[in-house]
Chain A
Amino acid sequence: MRRVRAWAAVAAAVALLLTGCSSGKTVDDGKVTLEFQSLAWQKESVDANKQLVKEWNAAHPDIQVKYVQGSWDSVHDQLLTSFEGGEAPDVIHDASDDLADFAYGGYLADLRDLLPARLKSGIPQRSWETTTFGDGVYGVPFLQEPRVLVANAKILRAAGVRIPTPAKPWSWEEFRSVTKKLSGGGRFGVAWPLKEPVSATLNLSLSAGGRMFHRGADGKVTVRFDAADAVVPRTVHDQAGPDGSASGATLGMSGSDTLPGFFAGKYAMVPLGFSYRQQIVQQAPKGFEWQVLPAPAGRDGLAQGVSPQTLSVAQDSPHKKEAAQFIDFLLRPRNMVRLALGDWMLPTGTQALKDPALRTTKNDWATGTALAGGLRSAPAQSVRGYPEWKDKVATPALQEYYSGSIGLGELRKRLVRDGNLVLARYQR
């Protein structure tokens, strides 16, 4: 008897579940409802996004925006599935290096005719290039971060080295000799977190004039590895190898993994994204003095590749115009500043960059802001076949070169010969 009653309860529970919580789609009454999928994840940034949505909804009763939380970790697969299933959010937050597939696949709306002139002219052309694929523009680049050197101020002071500024940065040779000077007694001058060696190397190489990817007259892209391309890789290789001024252990680490050693004084400097300052403020031991220095400069000054965060509109969205209006609102200079502060990053908008909140010396905002002019599109992010080149050819080749198991000649051979074979397959 008891058993019968238990099963009846189970059946009732299942029935209740199956009927009780079916999806409830709200019926619109002339009102437009947009879905905005944001990847903001840290409290300050989530709060900023949600607050902006709230303000928009209050001012636009006819165009309501629903905040949907996405996740950086799996955004590509999740978006791809939603696009295929016709259920993609209207406004999509992502990064420019993730957009190529979606843009070429026809999933994203070309924004050229949708965006107002104010927004178009408020963001510099070099930033728009990050989201231009073929003839179309498929996202609005709005937040970006330079790679900077985060330094242990006490160690630098004690060593008496010249402190570089955005106006007078170190050259790559000077950087190498400084790290040598800062090393010794179990300490390394620098810890390169190169878990993703390719993007770091390519982006920093722009400063030395390295481009590696060259588009020919026929529109086809080939890989070359010239003297300018070798400057950054050789510096890292020499520091980790013969100089002993860079830790070999961190070559496979992510930025966060190097922080404990940095706080403990094991490394004098760590090249990190500008937004890592938030983690440093949160985690640094009391009394730890740190400062932000510009990455070394080369032939092309402080140029650096970036893949900004972007806002796009789904091609399938029935409300593209309204979605573009919402993006325009989110990216008004004042709002862009709020988003930038929430993420500890730099806004792309020229007006937003002038905001005093981003010019303060507190947490070295000013140093980063001064570097914004050098940021341009990461090389190769729009090259078809780049992800495969990166994973199969460049990542292992650079890792082996940095760890000293192959030389520069072999590195060049692999990047170029093997690399061009991969690219050729995509460009037939």
Chain B
Amino acid sequence: MSRTRTHTRTHTRTRGRTRTGIRPSRPARAGQSLALLAYLVFLAFPFLWLISTAFKPPRELASLHPTWIPKDPTLANFRQAFDEQPLLRAAVNSVLVALSAALVAVLVATPMAYVMARHRSLLSRAATGWVVISQAFPFVLLIIPLFLILKNLHLINSLPGLTLVYVVWSLPFALWMLVGYVRAVPRELEEAAAVDGAGKLRTLVSVTAPLLAPGLVATALFAFITAWNEFFFALVLMKTPERQTLPVVLTHFLGAEGVADLGPLAAAAFLATLPSLVIFALIQRRLTGGILAGAVKS
């Protein structure tokens, strides 16, 4: 208790720099940890169940008392999944489309976001408003016009066409996210760079861009995952089996009236989650917030 008080006192002296140092009491912390753990379990449950299902033979899947650990683990589901569907090719398609969509979305959104955040005018406010409104359109409303436009451009059944759709689809939200990140970079830093003699380009490259990195990563991740998981556009736009993406191929394990080939479906779905996990693991280090804390005195 006394430690806490001392800590608070120390903290009062340094108030204005940071508030994150306040530590809750021990029971509160235990409660927080417990809540966090419960949340983690809640999040992990479907994924762990998916893994468990992927390794179970059909008979165990129809057991009234399912177990977490398969009693008789098998790789047959994976073999069957690869035998029956072109998973590898679909995965390559998905990676190509999702990565390009993420890249292009970030490349297009970054300069736009910068302008919208830094040069506040009626136009940028209107643009922001439009971005928010555009989020309200359900995609079933868009699909037929979009289909016709892409058909005129001869982009039906082509991966670049699908990429284009995903870029357009994720752009509004990506833009919105990035505007927030750009606003969080204090203008004073750019002014300071200018005072030190840096030109506009130099400032952007050496000062603003590095500080925006977490924002760019978050945006890219958002665009990637949106494209990676998207099903309906991919289903409607891609006709040839060679060009289908993973979510579409996964539905081939589903039959009419909710009947599913559960084992191979789980195996394929498990494999389909791996790339996003890997990409997330690789770039999550960059997702650190708070680098700007204390950058300017205010």
Minimum distance in angstroms from A44 CB to a CB of chain B? 11
Give residues 131-156 of B contacting A (CB, 8 Å).
140, 143-144, 147-148, 151, 154-156
Docked CA distance A77–B232 (Å): 9
For chain A, the count of residues having a C-beta within 8 Å of the partner chain is 50
Tell me whether B154 and A23 are in contact (CB under 8 A).
yes
Tell me whether A74 and B251 are in contact (CB under 8 A).
yes
Question: Which residue of the partner chain, among B62, B64, B147, contacts A85 with CB atoms under 8 Å?
Answer: B147
Tell me whether A21 and B158 are in contact (CB under 8 A).
yes
Asked whether any CB of chain A lies closer than 8 Å to the CB of B159, the reply is yes
Q: Which of A23, A35, A255, A283 has the most CB of B within 10 A?
A: A23
Question: Which residue of the partner chain, among A43, A71, A263, A276, contacts B251 with CB atoms under 8 Å?
Answer: A71
Query: Contacting chain A: which of B113-121, B188-196, B258-266, B284-292?
Result: B258-266
Asked whether any CB of chain B lies closer than 8 Å to the CB of A42, the reply is yes
Tell me whether A256 and B258 are in contact (CB under 8 A).
yes
Contacting residues, chain A, for B62 (C-beta < 8 A): 259-260, 263, 279, 283-284
Asked whether any CB of chain B lies closer than 8 Å to the CB of A73, the reply is yes
Contacting residues, chain A, for B140 (C-beta < 8 A): 77
Tell me whether A71 and B248 are in contact (CB under 8 A).
yes
Contacting residues, chain A, for B83 (C-beta < 8 A): 43
Query: Contacting chain B: which of A10-18, A53-61, A116-124, A158-166?
Result: A10-18
Tell me whether B100 and A14 are in contact (CB under 8 A).
yes
Tell me whether A73 and B254 are in contact (CB under 8 A).
yes
Asked whether any CB of chain B lies closer than 8 Å to the CB of A350, the reply is no
Tell me whether A285 and B59 are in contact (CB under 8 A).
yes
Docked CA distance A279–B61 (Å): 11
Contacting residues, chain B, for A407 (C-beta < 8 A): none
Asked whether any CB of chain B lies closer than 8 Å to the CB of A426, the reply is no
Asked whether any CB of chain B lies closer than 8 Å to the CB of A196, the reply is yes
Asked whether any CB of chain B lies closer than 8 Å to the CB of A261, the reply is yes
Given A42-B261, A256-B258, A266-B64: A21 and B160 interface contact (C-beta under 8 Å): yes
Asked whether any CB of chain B lies closer than 8 Å to the CB of A78, the reply is yes
Contacting residues, chain B, for A104 (C-beta < 8 A): none
Tell me whether A72 and B255 are in contact (CB under 8 A).
yes
Asked whether any CB of chain A lies closer than 8 Å to the CB of B52, the reply is no
Closest to A39 in B: B256
Given A23-B154, A256-B260, A284-B59: A81 and B147 interface contact (C-beta under 8 Å): yes
Tell me whether B252 and A279 are in contact (CB under 8 A).
no
Minimum distance in angstroms from A123 CB to a CB of chain B? 21
Tell me whether A81 and B239 are in contact (CB under 8 A).
no
Minimum distance in angstroms from A397 CB to a CB of chain B? 21
Question: Which residue of the partner chain, among A46, A69, A260, contacts B64 with CB atoms under 8 Å?
Answer: A260
Docked CA distance A276–B83 (Å): 23
Contacting residues, chain B, for A18 (C-beta < 8 A): 100, 160, 163
Asked whether any CB of chain A lies closer than 8 Å to the CB of B20, the reply is no
Minimum distance in angstroms from B2 CB to a CB of chain A? 51
Minimum distance in angstroms from A40 CB to a CB of chain B? 9
Docked CA distance A275–B259 (Å): 11
Asked whether any CB of chain B lies closer than 8 Å to the CB of A84, the reply is yes
Tell me whether A23 and B155 are in contact (CB under 8 A).
yes
Question: Which residue of the partner chain, among A10, A69, A82, A263, contacts B241 with CB atoms under 8 Å?
Answer: A69
Ranked nearest first, the 6 interchain pairs of A and B with the lowest CB-CB distance are: A283-B62, A23-B158, A264-B64, A85-B147, A72-B256, A71-B251
